[in-house]
């Protein structure tokens, strides 16, 4: 059992709470029984698991069985170390170190039904996590994140995805130019969320394959996306509401795109 806060493994896990630390080793930390189970179910590369004996529950038994079957190291820790490595106020007592997947443009699959999601400069972790989970629910599993977007492996982002992170192909830290060049090379039409655009209800959207670009609430989209987009859309709002949370707006737009693609 690990009991020393100075243990090298403890230091390594603590380092994963920082973006720089995660990027150096391309690993991230997930917390809680359900999240660790989802990682296993989706065939994520789980490197090792930490469990606190004092917090162990009977419902952990199937999870621990899967870990042993896959020969994934299970490291027992005391409560002091649990609180040291966890980012939650009241941790459940089980955490996993997971290898980040390495996707490239070649991993994206573009066909006549494709909707690619481009997230431009969204900085709130909860918003990004909710957007990713909503995208997956709408059948969108290919995502580009521009430079300036919050780290997808931030613990708050991960918690907000509720496990969806393991089913998505995500390319991060891309310039607007890189994204536009890819979309052009694959004949992906660009649609933006824009307060000056056409109202989505009653507007015939461009047919897939397409890319939907959503941006930071405060600063909006990068000029390149705005200038090169073939269609600008807005969500109508009443009662003097000026704008919606970007996660909510993205969900509405994605589902309207899917509705028009599949049911019109």
92-108: pLDDT as tens digits:
999 999 999 999 999 99
- The DSSP string of the chain is -B--TT-HHHHHHHHTTSHHHHHHHTEEEEESHHHHHHHHHTT--EEEEEEEGGG--GGGHHHHHHHHHTT--EEEE-HHHHHHH--SSS--SEEEEEEPP---GGG----TT-EEEEEES---HHHHHHHHHHHHHTT--EEEEETTSPPTTSHHHHHHHTTGGGG-EEEEEE-HHHHHHHHHHTTPEEEEEEEEEEESTT--PPPSSEEEEEEBTTTBS-HHHHHH-SEEEE----TT-----HHHHHHHHHHHHHHHHHH-
Ranges in the chain annotated CATH 3.40.1280.10: 105-263
Q: Class for domain 8-99, per CATH?
A: alpha beta
The predicted structure's pLDDT at residue 224: 96
pLDDT surpasses 80 at 169: yes
Ranges in the chain annotated CATH 3.30.1330.30: 8-99
Average pLDDT over residues 75-98: 94
pLDDT surpasses 90 at 182: yes
The predicted structure's pLDDT at residue 162: 87
Q: Class for domain 105-263, per CATH?
A: alpha beta
């Amino acid at each position: 059992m690990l009991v020393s806060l100075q243990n090298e493994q403890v230091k390594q896990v603590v380092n994963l709470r920082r973006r720089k630390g995660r990027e150096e080793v391309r690993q991230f930390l997930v917390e809680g029984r359900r999240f660790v189970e989802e990682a296993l179910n989706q065939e994520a590369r789980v490197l090792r698991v930490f469990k606190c004996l004092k917090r162990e529950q009977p419902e952990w038994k199937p999870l621990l069985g899967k870990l042993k079957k896959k020969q994934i190291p299970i490291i027992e820790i005391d409560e002091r170390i649990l609180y040291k490595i966890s980012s939650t106020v009241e941790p459940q007592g089980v955490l996993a170190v997971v290898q980040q997947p390495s996707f490239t443009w070649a991993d994206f699959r573009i066909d006549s039904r494709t909707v690619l999601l481009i997230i431009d400069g969204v900085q709130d972790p909860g918003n990004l996590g909710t957007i990713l989970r909503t995208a997956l629910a709408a059948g969108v599993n290919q995502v580009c994140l521009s430079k300036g977007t919050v780290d997808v492996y931030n613990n708050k982002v991960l918690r907000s995805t509720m496990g969806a992170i393991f089913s998505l192909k995500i390319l991060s830290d891309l310039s607007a130019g890189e994204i536009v060049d890819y979309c052009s090379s694959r004949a992906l039409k660009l649609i933006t969320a824009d307060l000056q655009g056409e109202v989505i209800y009653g507007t015939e959207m461009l047919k897939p394959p397409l890319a939907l670009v959503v941006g930071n609430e405060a600063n909006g989209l990068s000029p390149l996306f705005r200038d090169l987009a073939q269609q600008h859309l807005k969500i109508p709002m009443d009662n003097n509401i000026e704008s919606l949370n970007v996660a909510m707006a993205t969900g509405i737009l994605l589902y309207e795109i899917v509705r028009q693609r599949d049911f019109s």
